[in-house]
Amino acid sequence: MEEQKPSVNFPPALRAAATVFSYLLHPLFIPLLITFLVVTALPEYFMAFKHNSFRFPFDVLYLRVGVGCLLFPLLSVVLSKLLGFVNSVQLENRMDRIIPYVATTIFYFWVFYTFKRQGVTPGFFNAFFLGIFIAVVVCFVANSFVKISMHTTGWGGVLGFLMVLMWGMGMNVSVPLALAFVLTGLAATARLVLDAHTTREIYTGLLVGILSQVAAYAIVG
């Protein structure tokens, strides 16, 4: 049985702001965000993509991540809606999430596998995508019993990834980590204001996201 969400009447302006932040901080954007972050901060690890770019440095890398982790998952949700498999693209109930979970699991694993197989990306980058895959699998399995916030799962993954870079590799990522905590708080607050999740679902997502990244780094990092 799902936890009963408390009914709080927030002002319309606050709910409108929460809606905007929910879209801006959507987990589908996170793989591209992390890719931009690590390429900007550590370009020396991705020189193979710079030499093979079409016009701009690393555009091949961004294209692969964007297509596999944003375009294809987004298309799967839209097609599911058009075919009547889901009630809303917002995926508000657990049954609506089944097909998108299956699709994104396939897409995220494919991105991880191709990077790992190619052998030109650093281990921590491969571990990040494996962590995404693990998190989606956990959420998919858990979806049969409980609803988990995909927003906080995604941002929990960002926190876990940055923590791994700091503690596992000794990198100084204190500024990005502090910013990630702020954005995670905004995403969690927005979902609560919109009455999309309970606090338990929010914290469960954070835990799944963080632990998935730690486990992935332990496997391939």
Percent of the residues in the chain that have a pLDDT greater than 90, as a whole number: 62
Higher pLDDT, 205 or 197: 205
Mean pLDDT of 106-134: 95
Residue count (the chain):
221
Write down the pLDDT at residue 108: 95
The three state secondary structure string of the chain is CCCCCCCCCCCHHHHHHHHHHHHHCCHHHHHHHHHHHHHHHCHHHHHHHHHCCCCCCCHHHHHHHHHHHHHHHHHHHHHHHHCCCCCCCCCCCCHHHHHHHHHHHHHHHHHHHHHHHHCCCCHHHHHHHHHHHHHHHHHHHHCCCCCCCHHHHHHHHHHHHHHHHHHHHCCCCHHHHHHHHHHHHHHHHHHHHCCCCCHHHHHHHHHHHHHHHHHHHHHHC
Locate the domains of the chain by residue range. 26-220
Mean pLDDT of 163-184: 93
Q: Kindly report which listed range (143-147, 159-163, 188-192) carries the lowest average pLDDT score.
A: 143-147
Write down the pLDDT at residue 185: 96
Q: Is the pLDDT of residue 3 over 60?
A: no
Q: What is the average pLDDT value for the chain, to the nearest integer?
A: 89
Q: Is the pLDDT of residue 110 over 90?
A: yes
Mean pLDDT of 114-140: 94
Percent of the residues in the chain that have a pLDDT greater than 70, as a whole number: 91
pLDDT per residue as tens digits for the range 37-85: 999 998 888 988 876 666 667 788 999 999 999 999 999 888 888 888 8
Q: Kindly report which listed range (90-94, 138-142, 166-170, 213-217) carries the lowest average pLDDT score.
A: 90-94
Mean pLDDT of 134-152: 91
Q: Kindly report which listed range (3-7, 111-115, 176-180, 196-200) carries the lowest average pLDDT score.
A: 3-7
Mean pLDDT of 158-174: 92
Tally of CB atoms within 10 A around 55: 5
Write down the pLDDT at residue 1: 44
Mean pLDDT of 176-195: 95
